[in-house]
Amino acid sequence: MAENIRLTRSLLPLLALLAVGCQSGDDPGLTELRTVRIEPGPEAARRLQEALIMAQPGDVVQLAAGRYAFESTLSLDVENVTLRGAGPNKTILSFENQGTGTGGEGVSITSNGVVVEDLAIEDTPGDALKLRAAGPVTVRRVRTEWTDGSQATNGAYGIYPVQCHHVLVEDCTAIGASDAGIYVGQSRFVVVRRNHVSRNVAGIEIENCTQADVYENVATENSGGILVFSLPNLPVAGGSDCRVFKNLIEENNHPNFAPAGNIVASVPPGTGIMVMAYDHVEIFQNTICNNKTANLAIVSYLVTEKTYDDPRYDPYCEAIDVHDNEFSGGGNQPSGTLGKTLSQLTGGTFPDIVYDGIVDEEKLVEGELPRPLRITIRDNGDADFVNLDLVNFEPLKLRFPKISRDLVPHDGRHEPLAPVQLKSPLQLESTE
């Protein structure tokens, strides 16, 4: 027995060498795991794009600390690749000299199982980091920033997964986006946590997603802190099942610098959280304070007075549950066209929670929404509230709203939404 053990041990180095030989090309089904290292310098941009093109699944592309200058978009379409820097304030990818006609995006990813971490992307003409039709995807400790301040010419999105699944965005920083610092759109199974967003139009935006958790983030000095929107005329229709909890959302009073015509251009500066046309949203255990227009607004898409021609679209908010939040300050200086106009109905200021009162009248039963569809509000300390009853506001027909500050019709609770469960590439493969 002892001799057999010694023989096995003596063969291990040989077996390892044979395995490496197979991984390097003898068996196309096996791939050698590699780390490709890139250093700053005149050839760094070329070498990095070449490394991303030639990458094999499982590779790590490691960027040393330093500043890297790019004149065109970096693209990655190889699965299960990690793009890693030395830290978001140490490895900086600058696109300030990116030429026209080169894509406009900083880093564009269209492959599954990708991880981007520990680097910064600065001054892109378009979106900083875009991940499209991929999953799972992880963005960790990434900083996106436009360093010349808040301008309409800044790129629209900082971190931008769209039509993805099993999305994790954590411990990131996003500054200066002309639409949203962190935007996750038309995606399934989303976790956005422990990020810091400031001086964007929207700090964090969840749009037309199913099953999203947004928690332990800090949103401050944006025009709007956290937006949960469902919009029409998009490839993936509707949004539902979003939990927004344990966030700090304060002093989001930055002027709105979105380009004219964008939907976020209508977000009143001074908005803490805005929920628009979403179903099944649970907002709880947040600290929401000193947002000058409204700490929390729950509105229908119809309040924007924009038309749409999407037969799949439901423009109403339903089954929203607001509970156990801490509100303070705010509402004392509504701004933006929408904020100023609607605040005239309440004497020029807003309470903590503003509900436009627009409902789908076809769903009413004896003049009320069925309980599973109602907006429920409870256990929010001394937070005050208004229902603007805009469903009955037609001034040209001399119909005026019956504004109510009574929370009794909104007493109750919905079943808590389930936490989002993200799956790894291996877990997803095992279920296929």
Query: Does the pLDDT of residue 32 top 80, yes or no?
Result: no
CA 300 – CA 294 distance, rounded (Å) = 16
**Domain assignment of residue 206, yes or no:** yes
> What pLDDT score does 16 carry?
34
400: containing domain? 127-431
Which two three-digit tokens encode residue 98? 């990116």
> What pLDDT score does 397 carry?
61
Query: Does the pLDDT of residue 431 top 50, yes or no?
Result: yes
Residues of the chain above pLDDT 70, percent: 90
Q: How many domains does the chain have?
A: 1
Nearest to 222 by CA among 243, 246, 205, 237: 205
> What pLDDT score does 14 carry?
33
Mean pLDDT of 127-146: 97
pLDDT in tens, 49-107: 999 999 999 999 999 999 999 999 999 999 999 999 999 999 999 999 987 766 689 99
29 vs 115, higher pLDDT: 115
CA–CA distance from 327 to each of 39, 87, 379, 381 (Å)? 48, 35, 11, 8
Residues of the chain above pLDDT 90, percent: 80
Q: Where are the beta strands (DSSP E) in 39-113?
A: 60-63, 66-69, 74-76, 82-84, 91-94, 107-109
pLDDT in tens, 327-355: 999 999 999 888 888 888 888 899 999 99
- pTM higher than 0.95, yes or no? no
Query: Does the pLDDT of residue 41 top 80, yes or no?
Result: yes
315 vs 429, higher pLDDT: 315
> What pLDDT score does 321 carry?
98
**Domain assignment of residue 238, yes or no:** yes
CA 369 – CA 196 distance, rounded (Å) = 37
Dump the DSSP string for 116-179. Answer: EEEEEEE--SS-SEEEES--SEEEEEEEEE-TT-S-TTS-SEEEEEES-EEEEEES-EEE--SS
**Domain assignment of residue 75, yes or no:** no
Query: Does the pLDDT of residue 432 top 70, yes or no?
Result: no
> What pLDDT score does 118 carry?
98
**Domain assignment of residue 85, yes or no:** no
Query: Of the ranges 6-10, 74-78, 272-276, which one carries the lowest mean pLDDT score?
Result: 6-10
Dump the DSSP string for 341-395. Answer: HHHGGGTT---SEEE-----GGG-BTTB--GGGSEEEE--TT--EEE--GGG-BG
**In this structure, is the dihedral angle defined by the CA atoms of residues 347, 353, 358 and 363, taken in order, positive or negative?**
negative
Mean pLDDT of 198-221: 98
pLDDT in tens, 375-423: 999 999 999 999 999 988 776 665 778 999 999 999 999 999 999 999 8
pLDDT in tens, 149-181: 999 999 999 999 999 999 999 999 999 999 999
**Domain assignment of residue 187, yes or no:** yes
Spatial neighbors of 264 by CB under 8 A, at least 6 apart, are: 179, 180, 201, 202, 205, 223, 224, 227, 256, 258
Instruction: Please classify residue 421 by burial: count the beta carbons closer than 10 Å to its beta carbon, then call 0-12 exposed, 13-18 middle and 19+ buried.
Output: exposed
**Domain assignment of residue 248, yes or no:** yes
102 vs 371, higher pLDDT: 371
**Domain assignment of residue 96, yes or no:** no
CA 313 – CA 59 distance, rounded (Å) = 42
CA 380 – CA 351 distance, rounded (Å) = 13
**Domain assignment of residue 108, yes or no:** no
